[in-house]
Structure 1
Amino acid sequence: MSKELLNALDDLETEKGISKELVLDALEAALVSAYKRNYSQAQNVEVEFNHKTGKISVYAVKDVVETVYDSRLEVSLEEAVKINSAYEIGDKIRFEVTPKNFGRIAAQTAKQVIMQRMREAERNIIYNEFIAYENDIMQGIVERQDNRYIYVNLGKIEAVLSKQEQIPNEVYKPHDRIKVYVTKVENTSKGPQIFVSRSHPDLLKRLFEQEVPEIYDGVVEIVSIAREAGDRAKVAVVSRDEHIDPVGTCVGPKGQRVQAIVNELKGENMDIVEWSEDPSTYIANALNPAKVIDVVFNEQTNSCLVVVPDYQLSLAIGKRGQNARLAAKLTGFKIDIKSESDMLAADEAEEEVGLVSTDDLVDGALVDEPIEAIVDAEEVVAPLVEDPEVEETLVADDETIEELLNGDETDEELEEQDTTED
């Protein structure tokens, strides 16, 4: 059995890449536990595995003391000297206690340890293999699904596709081949766990890298992606070579390149726009297919006002505001869209309001020269007040007004006065 075990460990190291020394260390620790469990022993035990012969020996380790209180853990100095006269108090002596039938226990323990080490090694191999695919794209086969996940077979392991990472309204059937984006790889106690996505924006990026060689080579670069999975996406691209059209390169001859991506994503619409250093041009491109007349920026709020023709207002906004929303995600600006007529009406209203200034209003009346008018009025009124006749008239008027306010004259008296005057 021992030589067969050694040969098995050699084969294990060659085929699975599992270190022989690590297995032997684990095996010795497991045999110690097996010995204590099967023989109800509590003393200090050591297991020695001969790497040449494969023989397994069990030793009980005891301390040399003057007076023995626990024979399982201690040995007297008198007995120790009989074994070897050089022993002193405090030394440790190993006594072989290998049971006759320990070979069977050792074989069972060795099997368990080797199987455990094999599982751990396979998990590590799978983890190290798939951690390299994190943030990358892979092709798998749909195997099954439950209320939480869809399980995708990636070859050596099953990946999980959660509902949040699925494309809305996409139906997954067993044995369907799909491309998924690996978002996270975890090494758990139950083995590696791989999480994949179909709705991640970087899935689109990886698909373009597969279909467009210029993107893979770095001649054309994807600057930004805005995506509403299953419905529509916008991709901003730029060319590092002035002789290469980035948009035409991504579309491909007769639209073959982008059509392959659309087919993979079950009909998701693609808008490929050219990135520009000029924010106005970039925003105008992002609102494609709508035409943009003007872009007015507000640097304080990182927003902009986009003016479009009246007949293209609904096209610029898009269905349920989708076109404007994706353009905002793509460019990083908050976008407000107005029609050309609304913008002209707003400008005219501002101009009309701008003609009247609060500085030109005196008691709510509009005057051309308010300050001079007030001065002239004072110059006219001042001499009149100084005139005696005018002063008497003013005093009389004041007395009449005072009498009216005090109610000294009745309505009948006032009527008689009016009749007399007539």
Structure 2
Amino acid sequence: MNLEFINALKDIEKEKGISSEVLLQAIEHALLTAYRKNFGSTQNARIEILRETGEIKVFSRKTVVSEVTDPRLEISVEQAREIDPDAKEGDVVDEEVTPQEFGRIAAQAAKQVVVQQIREAERGLIYEEFLSREGDIVTGVVRRQETKNVYIDLGRAEALLAPAEQIPTERYNRGDRIKTYVTEVKKTTKGPQILVSRTHPGLLKRLFELEVPEIFEGIVELKAVAREPGLRSKIAVYSKDENVDSIGACVGPKGIRVQAIVNELRGEKIDIIKWDSDIKVFIANALSPAKVVSVEIEEGEKIARVVVPDNQLSLAIGKEGQNARLAARLTGWKIDIRSESQQIASSEEGKEEDPSCLE
């Protein structure tokens, strides 16, 4: 090993982002293993690579004694003082014992270990990089599909999009460029495993944060998200600045902002509603596009009883109950929806059954 070797490690540091010092320490460890294997494992040795020149030195660590009984582990006071003039009995000194043929043996024995250490260091860097991106969006290219799992190339790593995290209406073709939400990063023996999702509500939230400057800057706050992935979503937004329209900011000029998100989610419809601290108003807003006549709430059970015009009932409930379900998830309240005529009929039945109403 020489100066060219040191320079090569610095090139690896620049290209792969792995510290040359980490590599040198790994190589020293590998060389120590090779030395013990080839020159005796009973010696208490250490390996040092000179950082300036790349020269390898092998040192045998020996205890200073008055009478040597094991020359592999002990050294006399006189010999020790040739290495260190201040050495005294009981000290430990390093005696250089570098074999002449060690360079060839070391290079041969350490190669595989060094490659493995480089690989492990790269895995560690990738793990740390993506661990910090949990709860964030990553963009990648679909590489392959195996047993319904989709594998996405993120550049330095590969992510797994499991069947449960795939939008049922989507098809993922090799070469497709898609955005996914990082749900978890795990350490495994084969390197970091990055789990991503296309169905997580966080994906929709982060897409709006990326697309709407007012949300990113904190002027508009995204209060809640409810999704039926691939079909329809609702988000509740609130503006901290009365001069900024929260819904208008999310929609964007000519709908360009929300349309970009709809396109990314391949046609998923998105309702943007105004959040309100008054739960009655918030629930009424959440049932948009239906108009609401009244909202009565039961605080203890978190049930909201909503009345809508007769011609708005099917709109409020939505296809197969979708609008009502999303509104319930968005607000966190159970929602019971009735038309005006149903409410009147229910009230009249209640009066007939109540003895106090009889003459």
Q: TM above 0.5, one fold?
A: yes
How many Å separate the matches in 2 of 1:133 and 1:84?
55
Change (3 A) 1:84 1:340: closer
Could you tell me which runs of 5 or more consecutive residues in structure 1 were left unpaired when the two chains were aligned: 358-365, 369-422
Residues 305 and 23 (structure 1), Cα distance of their counterparts in 2 relative to 1, 3 Å cut: same
Q: Which has more radius of gyration?
A: 1
Residue aligning to 1:410: none
Distance in 2, matches of 1:302 and 1:346, equals: 21
Contact (CA 8 Å) 1:292, 1:306: kept in 2 or not?
A: yes
Superposed CA deviations along residues 64-109 of structure 1, whole A, max 9, x for unmatched, are: 37583x564456xxxx367468987645565554333211122235
Q: Any idea what SS the aligned residue of 2:230 has?
A: coil
Counterpart of 1:138 in structure 2 is 138
CA distance in 1 between counterparts of 2:107 and 2:229 reads: 56
Q: Distance in 2 between matches of 1:84 and 1:229?
A: 75
The percent identity for this pair of structures is 55
Corresponding residue of 1:394: none
Q: Is the 1:27–1:109 Cα contact (8 Å) retained in structure 2?
A: no
The CA deviation at 1:41 is 3.5
1-structure distance, mates of 2:258, 2:170: 19
What's the secondary structure of 2:216's corresponding residue?
helix
Partner of 1:108: 108
State how far apart, in whole Å, the 1-side matches of 2:91 and 2:219 are.
74
Q: CA separation in 2, counterparts of 1:53 and 1:271?
A: 66
Deviation of 1:163 (Å):
1.1
Question: Which has the bigger relative contact order, CA under 8 A and spacing at least 6?
Answer: 2
Q: Which residue of 2 aligns with 1:416?
A: none
* C-alpha contact (below 8 Å) 2:222/2:235 kept by paired residues: yes
> Counterpart in 1 of 2:262?
262
Q: Residue 57 of structure 2 corresponds to which residue in structure 1? A: 57
Go from structure 1 to structure 2 and tell me whether the alpha carbon gap of 1:280 and 1:116 turns closer, same or farther (over 3 Å shift). Answer: same
Find the residue that maps to 2:225 and give its secondary structure: strand
Q: Contact 2:30–2:114 at 8 Å: present in 1 too?
A: no
Residue-by-residue CA offset, 1:306-344 (whole Å, 9 max, x unaligned): 112333323222222221111111111111122222322
CA RMSD of aligned residues (A): 3.2
Matches of 1:19 and 1:35 in 2, distance apart? 25
Supply the AA of the counterpart residue of 1:235.
I
The match for 1:343 is 343
User: Which residue is equivalent to 1:214?
Assistant: 214
- Aligned partners of 2:188 and 2:166: how far apart in 1? 24
- The residue that corresponds to 1:405 in the other structure is none
Aligned to 2:167: 167
- Contact 1:66/1:89 (CA < 8 Å) preserved in 2? no
Q: Counterparts of 1:267 and 1:151 in 2: how far apart (Å)? A: 23
Query: Is contact 2:18-2:122 (8 Å) kept?
Result: no
Match of 2:354? 354
Structure 2: state its 5+ residue gaps. none
Q: Equivalent residue for 1:310? A: 310
1:152 aligns with 2:152: yes
Question: Deviation string for 1:221-253 (max 9, x for gaps)?
Answer: 322111110111111122333344333443344
Within 2, Cα distance between the matches of 1:180 and 1:81?
A: 68
How far residue 51 of structure 1 moved from its aligned partner, in angstroms, is 4.3
Q: Secondary structure at the match of 1:291?
A: coil
In the alignment, the residues of structure 2 paired with residue 18 and residue 230 of structure 1 have an alpha-carbon distance, to the nearest angstrom, of 41
Distance in 2, matches of 1:50 and 1:252, equals 61
Distance in 2, matches of 1:98 and 1:43, equals 13
- Assess if the C-alpha contact under 8 Å between 1:292 and 1:307 holds in 2: yes
Aligned equivalents of 2:242 and 2:167: distance in 1? 36
Partner Cα distance (2:155, 2:133) in 1: 13
Alpha carbons of structure 1 residues 84 and 132: separation in structure 2 relative to 1, 3 Å: closer
Question: What are the within-5 Å matches in structure 2 for residues 311-390 of structure 1?
Answer: 311-356=311-356
Alignment length (residue pairs): 354
Which position in structure 1 is the counterpart of 2:181?
A: 181
User: With structure 2 as the length reference, what TM-score do the two structures score?
Assistant: 0.84
Kindly provide the CA deviation profile for residues 30-64 of structure 1, in whole angstroms up to 9, marking residues without a partner as x: 22211121234323223344445544333444443
Describe the shift of the 1:256–1:123 C-alpha distance in structure 2 as closer, same or farther (beyond 3 A): same
- Determine the C-alpha separation between the residues in 2 that align with 1:48 and 1:232: 63
Which deviates more from structure 2 when the two are superposed, residues 48-57 or residues 176-185?
A: 48-57
> For residue 202 of structure 2, what is the aligned residue in structure 1?
202
Q: Which structure dedicates a bigger proportion of its chain to helix?
A: 1
- Matches of 2:248 and 2:92, distance apart in 1: 82
Residue type at the aligned position of 1:277 = S
Q: Write the distance in 1 (CA, Å) between the matches of 2:201 and 2:189.
A: 30
